[in-house]
């Protein structure tokens, strides 16, 4: 990966040169000048938070999935509303630059840290342990990596089953920067018998209870210097949560049957699909000890741009090569709900691979009968529901047909990043026919009060397709 880029947007060259000189003296070098932002980590320099030049640069940041710091040379610090808007484009810090007041060391340190995080993220992707393209997941993983690399704080991972909580926990362990890193110890709270739970965590000495025939180390001892991953933490009994309070806070514990306190330096990562905050299944004091940092992993439905790359990844894992997906199969994969998230997608792809014969791409015909039937039923049900609601709302047949056609075009263009020939092929029409449809739509929207968007009639997954983006 390249180093830190810098892009000055309509700012005087002499002013930029002085600014960069101060940053380089603070240790930020080498900086790579570029006309427009690109991927990775970079510095944007603009005069004001609201300007045409900056808007163009922000679009480039989002297009390339960049992580940028914005310095404003002739403006005050942006408002919270503007900061939130900038964040959606990849600007994660924005501040005014005053030669007499701004500390260049702070700016330099922030960018250097981000670059280290980006290197770690790209190394994980290069090793095939991470597979994603969505901007949502990239942004989340950047935050996770920063906490993992620069703190030893406890982390709580939330998300539906199959969203990759264990994979993220292992990622946190891999990038932990402790000099002598210990083991990754996994405990599934939903599988621990209540009568053995204390022993599983604290360990025991011989004779501590009936059946304790020898000393045994518990999870706290095994995770010393490493990571304790407590999966399904919401299933822990309340009395056991009370027993764990001291060791989570002070890292000190006594094995069962022992009178000696022991110390364990571990990072605690907890995971659950439940909402623990305010829940009757979780003590308030226990929740606050395990949740210094909370990250919610998005479902596959929230990042549909990851479906096909993930499916390709799973197919390559199974077959050794990626044979490709026939277009009708691609559409079928994109229309599914995936309530089981990546795990459900993986099982589906493995079934496809199991029935595939020959050297051609995986095709719709490779789907098991029950999978094909369920996907068709789901799609038809969604289309029927949308059409029924529109009809009951007083829309005429022509209006319903028009909006359905517009929705299909929106979905195809979104899934193909706006590439007209590919979108036309996906729709089964010519490039010219698609261009004519778009022209008719623009003409009608220009003469009508209603907006051109057909988002209210998008069936299934199509409305969530993003034009660009960056699973596990």
Q: Note the pLDDT of residue 180.
A: 77
* Domain assignment of residue 187, yes or no: yes
- Are 85 and 24 contained in the same domain? yes
- Structural domain includes residue 335: no
109, 220: one domain: no
Residues 268 and 411 in one domain: no
Query: In a structure prediction context, what are the per-residue pLDDT tens digits for the chain, which is 472 residues long?
Result: 578 999 998 888 888 888 998 998 888 877 888 888 899 999 999 998 888 889 999 999 999 999 999 999 888 888 888 899 999 899 999 989 887 767 899 999 999 999 999 999 999 988 878 888 898 899 999 999 999 999 999 999 999 999 999 999 999 999 998 867 899 999 999 999 988 899 999 999 888 888 888 989 999 999 999 999 999 999 999 999 999 999 999 999 999 998 899 999 999 999 999 999 988 999 999 999 999 999 999 999 999 999 999 999 999 999 998 889 998 899 889 888 899 999 999 999 999 999 998 888 999 889 888 787 565 555 555 666 667 767 767 778 887 788 788 878 877 776 566 788 888 887 888 989 988 888 887 777 655 544 444 344 333 343 343 334 434 6
- 287 shares its domain with 141: yes
Among 265, 296, 327, residue at a domain's last position: 296
| 8-state DSSP, 209 | S
Whole-prediction pTM value?
A: 0.77
Residue 349 lies in a domain: no
Residues 6+ apart with CB under 8 A from 105: 26, 27
**3 state SS for 451-466:** CCCCHHHCCCCHHHCC
CA 333 to chain centre: 20
Query: Are residues 109 and 158 part of one domain?
Result: no
Residues 43 and 191 in one domain: no
CB contact at 8 A, 82 and 5: no
| Pair of tokens at residue 421 | 């020939």
On the CB side of 385, CA atoms within 13 Å amount to 10
Tell whether 141 and 91 lie within a shared domain: no
Q: What ranges in 393-430 are assigned the alpha helix state H?
A: 397-415, 420-427
Is the residue at 58 inside a domain?
A: yes
Edge to edge, the sheet with strand 4-9 lists 31-33, 4-9, 41-46, 67-72, 91-96
* Terminal-residue alpha carbon distance, the chain: 21
Q: Are residues 146 and 281 in the same domain?
A: yes
Measured N-to-C along each axis, helices 165-175 and 135-150 cross at an angle, to the nearest 10 degrees, of 40
Domain limit, last residue, from 296, 319, 334: 296
pLDDT at 462: 39
User: Closest Cα to residue 337, out of 459, 472, 455?
Assistant: 459
Pair (275, 176) in one structural domain: yes
Pairing of strands 91-96, 41-46: unpaired
List C-alpha distances in Å: 334 to 13, 272, 304, 375, 465: 48, 27, 7, 10, 9
CB 72 within 8 A of CB 78: yes
The predicted pLDDT at position 437 comes to 86
Domain that holds residue 430: 396-470
Residue 144 lies in a domain: yes
The CATH code of the domain that includes 17 is 3.40.50.2300
User: What distance in Å separates the CA atoms of residue 467 and residue 1, rounded to the nearest whole number?
Assistant: 24
Can you name the residues that pair with 18 across neighbouring β-strands?
none
**Is 131 contained in some domain?**
no
Question: For the domain that residue 157 is a member of, what is the CATH number?
Answer: 3.40.50.300
Same domain, 253 and 174: yes
Structural domain ending residue among the three candidates 296, 315, 347? 296
**128 in a domain, yes or no?**
no
Together in a domain, 151 and 220: yes
Nearest to 204 by CA among 263, 259, 257: 257
What total of structural domains would you count in the chain? 3
Is 308 among the domain residues? no
How many whole angstroms separate alpha carbon 395 and alpha carbon 413?
25
Do 76 and 170 share a structural domain?
no
């Amino acid at each position: 990966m390249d180093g830190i880029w810098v892009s000055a947007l309509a700012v005087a060259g002499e002013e930029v040169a002085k600014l960069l000189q101060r940053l380089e003296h603070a240790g930020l070098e080498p900086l790579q000048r570029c006309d427009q932002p690109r991927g990775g980590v970079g510095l944007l320099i603009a005069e004001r938070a609201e300007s045409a030049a900056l808007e163009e640069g922000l679009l480039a940041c989002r297009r390339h999935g960049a992580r940028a710091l914005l310095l404003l040379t002739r403006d005050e610090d942006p408002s919270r509303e503007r900061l939130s808007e900038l964040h959606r484009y990849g600007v994660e810090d924005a501040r005014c630059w005053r030669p007499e007041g701004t500390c260049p060391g702070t700016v330099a340190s922030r960018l250097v840290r981000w670059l280290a995080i980006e290197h770690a993220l790209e190394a994980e992707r290069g090793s095939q342990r991470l597979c994603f393209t969505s901007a949502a997941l990239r942004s989340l993983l950047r935050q996770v990596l920063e906490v993992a690399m620069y703190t030893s704080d406890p982390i709580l991972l939330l998300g539906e089953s199959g969203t990759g909580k264990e994979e993220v926990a292992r990622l946190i362990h891999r990038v932990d920067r402790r000099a002598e890193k210990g083991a990754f110890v996994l405990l599934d709270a939903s599988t621990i018998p209540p009568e053995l739970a204390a022993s599983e965590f604290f360990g025991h000495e011989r004779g501590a209870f009936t059946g304790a025939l020898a000393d045994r180390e518990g999870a706290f001892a095994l995770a010393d210097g490493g990571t304790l991953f407590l999966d399904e933490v919401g299933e822990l009994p309340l009395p056991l949560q009370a027993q764990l309070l001291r060791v989570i806070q002070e890292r000190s514990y006594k094995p069962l049957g022992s009178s000696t306190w022991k110390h364990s330096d571990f990072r605690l990562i907890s995971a659950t699909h439940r909402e623990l905050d305010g829940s009757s299944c979780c003590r308030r004091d226990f929740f606050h000890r395990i949740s210094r940092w909370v990250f919610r992993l998005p479902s596959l439905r929230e990042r549909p741009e990851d479906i096909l790359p993930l499916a390709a990844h799973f197919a390559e894992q199974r077959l050794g090569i990626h044979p490709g997906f026939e277009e009708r199969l691609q559409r079928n994969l994109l229309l599914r709900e995936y309530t089981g998230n990546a795990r459900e997608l993986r099982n589906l792809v493995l079934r496809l691979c199991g029935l595939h014969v020959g050297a051609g791409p995986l095709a719709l015909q490779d789907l098991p009968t029950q999978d094909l039937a369920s996907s068709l039923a789901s799609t038809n049900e969604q289309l029927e529901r949308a059409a029924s609601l529109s009809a009951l709302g007083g829309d005429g047949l022509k209006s319903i047909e028009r909006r359905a056609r517009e929705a299909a075009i929106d979905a195809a263009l979104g899934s193909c990043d706006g590439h007209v020939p590919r979108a036309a092929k996906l729709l089964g029409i010519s490039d010219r026919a698609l261009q004519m449809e778009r022209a008719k739509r623009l003409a009608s929207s220009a003469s009508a009060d209603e907006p051109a968007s057909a988002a209210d009639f998008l069936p299934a997954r199509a409305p969530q397709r993003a034009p660009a983006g960056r699973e596990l």
